[in-house]
Amino acid sequence: MLVHLPPPWNPIFGRLGLILHYRYNNPMIFFAFELVFVGAAILLFWLTCTRRWHTLWRDWLTTVDHKKIGVMYIVIGLVMLFRGFFDALMIRTQQAMAVGPTAVSFLGAAHGYLPPFHLDQVFTAHGTIMILLAVTPILVGLMNLIVPLQIGARDMAYPYLNAVGLWLTATAAALVMIALFIGDFSHAGWVGLTPLTELAYSPGPGVDYWIWAVQIGGLGTTLGAVNLLATIIKMRAPGMTWPRLPIFTWTSVATNIIALTSFPVLTAAVGMLALDRYVGTHFFTAGLGGDLMMYTNLFWTWGHPEVYFLVLPAFGMISEIIPTFSEKPLFGYTTMVLASMAIAGVSWSVWLHHFFTMGASPGVNTYFSIATMLVGIPTGVKVFNWLFTMYRGKLHFETPMLWAVGAIFLLISGGMTGMMLAVPAINYIVHNSVFVVAHFHNMILVIVYATFGAVTFWFPKVFGFKLDGRYGRRFFWSFTAGSLLVFVPMYLLGLMGMTRRLDYIAHPAWYPLLLIQVVGIGIYILSVIYFLGMLAVSINRRETRRVGADAWGSARSLEWATRSPVPFYNFAVTPVVHARDEWAWRRERGLTDLRPERYVDIHLPRNTVVPLVIGAFSLVFGFAMVWRIWWMAACGLVGVIAAVIIRSFARDTDYVVPAEEVRRLEEAAARAPRPDTATAAAGATLPPHAQPSVRS
């Protein structure tokens, strides 16, 4: 057992005997179980009835197509967003119920209905899921989808690695979901507060679930960053010089430099924590030479760059949407690129602002305060440039534009509160309060708004039809109303002195505002319904909503210079780029005909099951490590290594689509502008050569 743990433990089942101690009669757990398993059962039933297993396997589970991988990342992200939203619902209702000593009390709680044992897991899971398993996958998915198209590439530089990244992310998500039912999840906050995460204070398997979800998911994201950088550096179409790179691709460069340099720090920090918990080292314990603030430093050395990893692609999306719906190129392109790089650069040197209250000397706090505020400069520049892009433009408030403009307003208010927090004298009274929570939700809403905008914006490119605008607008306005009702009161509560992560509210003065937040959550539920309605209506009426290559009529960059939905080979022939806004350049010159003069053979990667296998084995490994079932962990690890080795001998990893076949597909698509979407989702069906080869 390596370290001293309270029993039970045995060599075959590890610590699994612990689950006999949990109370599974809690209706909340039962409800979650229903939701997950009934949902999964319906899905499996539907797949079987409509005979989609084969399609699912061939077109999705074994694919290396960057577009499908992108879509799957986004689907994982949306599912986890939904899970995280349930967590939020529980936190908000618990706090509204547990006010004052006479608050109602049931289900084992002293106040409200969630005792700390549950609430602490809920808010830890909420943060971990939303940052690492919802927003990150959605953004990685969008970059996966759009970047190769924007630079005129056939696929990512390493398509197989791309699929590995996806399945590792899925594994991390699966581990967090398993923690809901088998054992418990971490109780120590999404940041993994030391020494609370050490064995003495977290003896259960919860922190171990958190550790392995973070490690496996983080590895996936790091691999994704390597891939995106290599793709952007090496796979650009002829003529796509750096000064012509679309702005979203530029922000992807900046953001993936951040990911590549910062995620290893997280891996190292959490790895050392794992050593503490598994082999009894003392990296971060309070005593015996451990340094718990070292963990905090390392965590935020990753954590702060991570928040900019999230926001930079969002800035890129806003910068793509606004010119399109202003019928005007982006104002100050060079400045925007410089600003993105500056934000990335500064983001490494500000981490200490997350713990000004540690008691560092005034010199240290002054340095980190000023460094933090420097980030505000390029951020301010971006706001001005969007403003001047719209100035003398012709603004069309389609749904993507609504989200983008909403994001700017949010950025202004979130930037303002960020600049307040960056002043230590102010930080001392609002740190660890819900004011901070409101600040970063405000900022993350910038990302969410930009992302919803981007999803509506690029949806027709990927699927060939537009999302319904009426439902889209209802979704936007209800989501906005919900956000205001939740987060404005949260800011106010922070100024009243309310601190974060409370299970019990001692001060009745906070009650009215907590109640307003619950109303806001109710309106969020309404917005989820509008979102699902938007999807249903759009898919139902997709035949009437088909679009051509340029879905919005005023799009600008290269991804619009191919068919919608994008064929599996992206472009019939590799495009030659002439200008910064290539599609706008061609449109102005009337060069919008997509038929090439000559077709050539296309070389593409072949499907493979190896990434899925790696994902499955790493899930086995992660689960076994959580419960300390050593034999099973060894099997999982050996499985991963074996899969990687076997794959490295595979020769038959790609195939060629002959020029004639490309011509046939292109002409068929040109003749029948309204193909059946069942097969056209995220590209067309694969031709026979794309089947997984037996050897890999």
Q: Output 237 or 258, the one with its CB closest to ligand HEM.
A: 258
> 29, 32, 78, 196: which one contacts another protein (CB under 8 A)?
196
| Least distance from Cu ion to the Cβ atom of residue 693, Å | 46
Query: 3-state class of 63 per DSSP?
Result: coil
- Among residues 239, 376, 469, 548, the one that binds another protein under rule CB under 8 A: 376
| DSSP category for residue 61 | I
Among 141, 205, 400, 418, binds ligand HEM (CB under 6 A): 418
Return the amino acid letter for 312. Answer: L
Query: Is residue 328 a contact point for another protein (CB under 8 A)?
Result: yes
Selection from Cu ion, ligand HEM, another protein, none that 286 binds (CB < 5 to 8 A by kind) is: another protein
Of positions 204, 406, 567, 615, contacts another protein by CB under 8 A: 204
* Residue (353 or 556) nearer to Cu ion, CB: 353
CB 595 within 8 A of CB 666: yes
Kindly tell me which of 310 and 572 has the beta carbon lying closer to ligand HEM: 310
Strand, coil or helix: what is 657?
strand
Contact segment (CB under 6 A) with ligand HEM among 8-16, 318-326, 439-447, 655-663 equals 439-447
Cβ 225 to Cu ion shortest distance, Å: 19
Q: Which does 362 bind (CB under 5 to 8 A by kind): another protein, ligand HEM, Cu ion, none?
A: another protein
The angle that helices 136-150 and 159-179 make with each other, rounded to 10 degrees, is: 170
Please tell me whether residue 440 binds ligand HEM under the rule CB under 6 A: yes
Among 189, 271, 280, 469, binds another protein (CB under 8 A): 189
- In sequence order, what are the residues at sequence separation of 6 or more whose Cβ sits closer than 8 angstroms to the Cβ of residue 404? 317, 318, 321, 322, 325, 449, 450, 453
12, 20, 279, 288: which one binds another protein (CB under 8 A): 288
Q: How far apart are CA 252 and CA 340, in angstroms?
A: 10
Distance between CA atoms of residues 162 and 170, nearest Å: 13
301 binds ligand HEM (CB under 6 A): no
28 binds another protein (CB under 8 A): no
Contacts of 23 (CB under 8 A, 6+ apart): 108
* 3-class secondary structure, 602: strand
| C-alpha–C-alpha distance, residues 129 and 172, integer Å | 10
From 46-54, 253-261, 422-430, 639-647, span contacting another protein (CB under 8 A): 422-430
Span near ligand HEM by CB under 6 A; candidates 373-381, 602-610, 629-637, 670-678: 373-381
Contact partners, residue 606, CB within 8 Å, separation at least 6:
64, 652, 653, 654, 655, 689, 690, 691, 692, 693, 696
Q: Are 377 and 345 in contact (CB under 8 A)?
A: no
Question: Among residues 89, 226, 294, 381, which is the contact residue for another protein, using CB under 8 A?
Answer: 381
Of positions 167, 210, 283, 355, contacts another protein by CB under 8 A = 355
Q: Exactly one of 464, 472, 489, 683 binds another protein (CB under 8 A); which one?
A: 489
Tell me if 603 sits within 8 A of 659, measured CB to CB.
no
Cis peptide before 424 (omega within 30 of 0): no
**Nearer of residues 255 and 570 to ligand HEM, judged by Cβ:** 255
Q: Which residue is nearest to ligand HEM (CB)?
A: 418
| Count of CB atoms situated within 10 Å of the CB of 78 | 16
Task: By CB under 8 A, tell whether 500 contacts another protein.
Answer: yes
Whether the CB-CB separation of 152 and 571 falls below 8 Å is answered with yes
Residues lying near ligand HEM in the complex (CB under 6 A): 191, 307, 310-311, 353-354, 372, 375-376, 379, 415, 418-419, 421-422, 427, 431, 436, 439-440, 443-444, 447
